Chain A
Amino acid sequence: MSDTPTGTHPGATTGHSGPEPGEPPRALYVYALLPDPGEALPDTVTGIDGRPLRLVGDGPGGPVALVHATAPAPYQGPDEDVRRWIVEHDRAVDAAWQLTGAVLPMTFNVLVRPEEGRSAEQRLLSWLAERRDELTARLDELAGHAELQVEITLDREAAAVSNERARSLMADMAESSPGVRRLLAKRLEMARREASEQLADTLYADARRRLAAVSEDLQDRRRAVRDPGETDVLSVSLLVRQDGIETVGRVLAEIQDEQPAVRIRFLGPWPPYSFADLGHGPGGAEEAPPGRAVPGLRT
């Protein structure tokens, strides 16, 4: 993340060794936007570095921001600290999500700064007021929805079990000298890779279609395969209604059942991080087609 030697933040209450120690907390670190819950979060929930959390909103019933006050400087430090901060960030977002069932989670390190005689809070409030209708609509859309992550990979050895070339190579290896065996092992690995890639293409389109049919939305995630013996088939984030999680699990169980070489990781439910773009500038949104044209292919 950064080469700063310590992981403290200038606004932290301990160990002032950040860039400008003791700076007054003039900025607001934003965790999420949520509908006005009409009550505070329980005191047991704290933010990054145990900071007390506040809800900031421009009027009853409108969207509010979950924040803590801090110095106008980014959180940076050793990876270990960043990891801990992100877990704490997520915990705060999750608490808000449990309370209201709808959140627009922010990414890490979104800090509202003061400017030209206006405090960070004033600026945030007027932005919330300005975008009130749009944010309310977006939160309504996300209400009752969770994000799930699905990773499907193929065990290359298992995927090539019925592959002619792989089988004949294995038979040859059994009766070869160690030197030749090493050569054949390389060829076997290639044959297994090719067989897995072909199978992965077929599985991808099929699994994606079946998961899309039970999700409100889905997005590919780029992910390195963790296991060198596996081929990546599909890595997606799904936006699913809370009552639809079971159905996704059933589709995955069927996919597993149909193809023994498949390995599935199924994570969540999480607040909908991957579907929280605010529709301007960056946010990982894929494209903004002109409305959802005509609903419904027959699925």
Chain B
Amino acid sequence: MPDRAPAAPAVPAVPSLQPTRDPRVTLDDLLEVVLNKGAVLHLDLIIAVADIPLIGVNVRAAIAGMETMLEYGMLRQWDEATRAWAERSGSRGLELRDGERLITRMFGGHRLTGEVYSGWRPGSVHLTDRRLVVLRREPREVLWEAELAELESAALETERAVGGEDRTRLRLRLRDGGEALLSAAEPERLHRELLEQTPGAKALAAADGGGGGTAGPAGKDGHEGHLWYHEPRRGGAMWRGGRGRLDAGGLSWKSPVDARPALVLAPGDLLGVRLEERDNPAGSPYTLVLDTPGGEVVLAADALPDWTGPLHRMAAGGTGQEDGESPERRRDDGGPHR
């Protein structure tokens, strides 16, 4: 990946393309952008039809986008007002009780264990400050639900999935003796946030000893989960939340609002891995810096060790020793912090 400086060469090798505003060519695009984008005044000010502010497509797109972001755990960085708005407006989501707050939600499912039928029923897992609910949207059905007050213990355990790979599941026990097995896009994060909400519940180590296991869908020496990417812009980089995936093919990162992965790094492009003390939106004092032929790639994660180990091994050509636990303490003089 050669890096291109945006500076203009003295004699451009190829002529520059010119943008067009010709309505005959751009009309459909203009319609789409005016209907789907543009600002909206405060909802209290504007005309509503049947209590829905009249911002049609725009609001629908925003809600759809927010639902996705909730599922990806991106709204953790949002201010309370926006969050509350998103929580209220996800009409297809969980109906919250008065004063109930949605903490997180992600794709997941509930293991139905019946006499006639056993199987995973997919939906989305909603954790609020009062309940844990697995909800299916279409057709709408609460697949499983428990009050947090009823929760006795929560444990992560590893299950060999149908395809032969190991999957981390969440095993829950209730005070009344009930039990449930849930799947989740990010079981470790769900487990952690669930225990934060339920101090009374025990965090049991899993029966198979793989309680903190990172064996996700990426296989034994890979990892997959929420990851922040400091994506470059002309005026400085921006932190964006998304999903990272590390496997034999390299590292990729994709935001739920992008069409394809914005970061694709082949194993051979990873020249070095280090941790630096820089500001980042994750809960970690360290930011992950990767050296690549195209320059630095800057990432942040809530659970750094899950990423540093496999990355170090990838940088060392798959044979290196893991030393991701001992960050190089380098001061970052990268300019003004916010």
Q: Which residue of A lies closest to B264 (CB)?
A: A205
A57 to chain B, nearest CB (A): 15
Check if A204 sits within 8 Å of B260, measured CB to CB. Answer: yes
* B149 interface contact, C-beta 8 A: no
Query: Chain A contacts of B3 at CB under 8 A?
Result: 298-299
Between A89, A217, A296, the greatest number of chain B beta carbons within 10 A of the residue's beta carbon is seen for A296
Q: Which residue of B lies closest to A276 (CB)?
A: B39
Segment from A4-12, A171-179, A247-255 that makes contact with B:
A247-255
* B259 interface contact, C-beta 8 A: yes
B125 to chain A, nearest CB (A): 21
Query: Chain B contacts of A17 at CB under 8 A?
Result: none
How many angstroms from the CA of A209 to the CA of B69 in the assembled complex?
22
Check if A283 sits within 8 Å of B40, measured CB to CB. Answer: yes
**Count of interface residues, chain B, beta-carbon cutoff 8 Å:** 94
Query: Chain B contacts of A218 at CB under 8 A?
Result: 233
Query: Chain A contacts of B255 at CB under 8 A?
Result: 220, 286
Check if A74 sits within 8 Å of B1, measured CB to CB. Answer: no
Instruction: Please judge, given known A-B contacts A204-B261, A205-B262, A284-B36, whether A74 and B77 are in contact too, CB under 8 Å.
Output: no
For chain B residues 22-64, which have a beta carbon within 8 Å of chain A?
Answer: 23, 25-27, 29-43, 45-47, 49, 54-56, 58-59, 61-63
Segment from A36-44, A107-115, A155-163, A184-192 that makes contact with B:
A107-115
* B338 interface contact, C-beta 8 A: yes
Check if B39 sits within 8 Å of A277, measured CB to CB. Answer: yes
* A183 interface contact, C-beta 8 A: no
For chain A residues 80-127, which have a beta carbon within 8 Å of chain B?
Answer: 83, 86-87, 89-90, 104-113, 123-124, 127
For chain A residues 128-171, which have a beta carbon within 8 Å of chain B?
Answer: 147-149
Query: Chain A contacts of B298 at CB under 8 A?
Result: 297
A143 to chain B, nearest CB (A): 14
How many angstroms from the CA of A212 to the CA of B37 in the assembled complex?
20
8 Å CB contact of B232 from A107, A213, A222, A286 = A213
8 Å CB contact of A234 from B63, B259, B296 = B259
Check if B37 sits within 8 Å of A281, measured CB to CB. Answer: no
Check if A109 sits within 8 Å of B6, measured CB to CB. Answer: no
How many angstroms from the CA of A280 to the CA of B82 in the assembled complex?
6
Check if A200 sits within 8 Å of B260, measured CB to CB. Answer: yes
Q: Which residue of B lies closest to A107 (CB)?
A: B38
Check if B47 sits within 8 Å of A74, measured CB to CB. Answer: yes
Q: Which residue of B lies closest to A218 (CB)?
A: B233
Q: 12 extra interchain contacts, Cβ-Cβ under 8 A, other than A149-B33, A248-B19, A287-B74?
A: A27-B47, A73-B47, A104-B39, A213-B232, A268-B20, A269-B19, A276-B37, A281-B81, A282-B89, A289-B77, A296-B232, A296-B237
Contacts from B to A (Cβ < 8 Å): 1, 3-6, 8, 12-21, 23, 25-27, 29-43, 45-47, 49, 54-56, 58-59, 61-63, 65, 69, 74-75, 77-79, 81-82, 85, 89, 230-241, 255, 257-264, 278-281, 294-298, 332, 334-338
8 closest A-B pairs by CB: A295-B236, A291-B338, A282-B62, A107-B38, A249-B16, A204-B260, A289-B239, A276-B39
Q: List 24 A-B contacts (CB under 8 A).
A: A86-B31, A105-B38, A110-B39, A124-B45, A147-B33, A204-B262, A208-B258, A209-B232, A215-B233, A217-B233, A220-B258, A237-B33, A237-B37, A247-B8, A249-B19, A254-B14, A256-B17, A257-B13, A266-B20, A273-B37, A274-B33, A282-B59, A283-B39, A287-B74
